[in-house]
Amino acid sequence: MTAADGLGFASRAIHAGQDPDPQTGAVIVPVYQTSTFAQTAVGEHRGWDYARSGNPTRDALEAALASLEEARHGFAFSSGLAAGDAVLRTCSPGDHVVMANDVYGGTYRQFAKVHQPWGLAFDPVDLSDLESVAAAWRPQTRLLWIETPTNPLMTVFDIAGLSELAHERGAVVVVDNTFATPYLQQPLQLGADVVVHSTTKYLGGHSDVVGGAALTNDDALAERIGFLQNAVGAVPGPWDTWLTLRGVKTLAVRMRAHCDNARAVVACLAESTAVRQVLYPGLPTHPGHEIAAKQMRDFGGMVSFRMADEDAALAACSRFRLFTLAESLGGVESLVEHPGRMTHMSVAGSPLEVPGDLIRLSVGIEDPTDLVADLLQALD
Give per-residue pLDDT as tens, 71-92: 999 999 999 999 999 999 999 9
| pLDDT reading at 1 higher than 60 | no
Give the residue from 29, 1, 63 showing the smallest Cα distance to 238: 29
Q: What is the pLDDT of residue 182?
A: 98
pLDDT of residue 3: 52
Distance of alpha carbon 114 from alpha carbon 91, whole angstroms: 13
Report how far residue 327's alpha carbon sits from residue 37's, in angstroms, rounded to the nearest whole number: 38
| Segment 89-116, tens digit of pLDDT | 999 999 999 999 999 999 999 999 999 9
Helix (H) or strand (E) holding 136: helix 130-136
- Catalytic residues, by residue number, are 52, 104, 176, 201
Q: Convert the pLDDT of each residue in 119-143 to its tens digit.
A: 999 999 999 999 999 999 999 999 9
Residue type, 213: A
**Cβ neighbours of residue 271 under 8 Å, at least 6 residues apart?**
none
DSSP for 238-269, written as a single string? HHHHHHHHHHHTTHHHHHHHHHHHHHHHHHHH
Residue 40: how many other CB atoms lie within 10 Å: 8
User: Is residue 272 over pLDDT 60?
Assistant: yes
Asked if 158 contacts 287 with a C-beta cutoff of 8 angstroms, the reply is no
Helix axes 219-232, 80-88, angle to 10 degrees: 120
pLDDT digits (tens, 9 = 90+) for 214-243: 999 999 999 999 999 999 999 999 999 999
What is the tens place of the pLDDT at every residue in 318-372? 999 999 999 999 999 999 999 999 989 888 888 889 999 999 999 999 999 999 9
Nearest to 5 by CA among 19, 14, 16, 13: 16
Predicted confidence (pLDDT) per residue in 242-252, tens digit: 999 999 999 99
Domains of the chain and any CATH numbers: 9-248 (3.40.640.10), 251-379 (3.90.1150.10)
Calculate the CA 161 to chain-centre distance.
Answer: 20
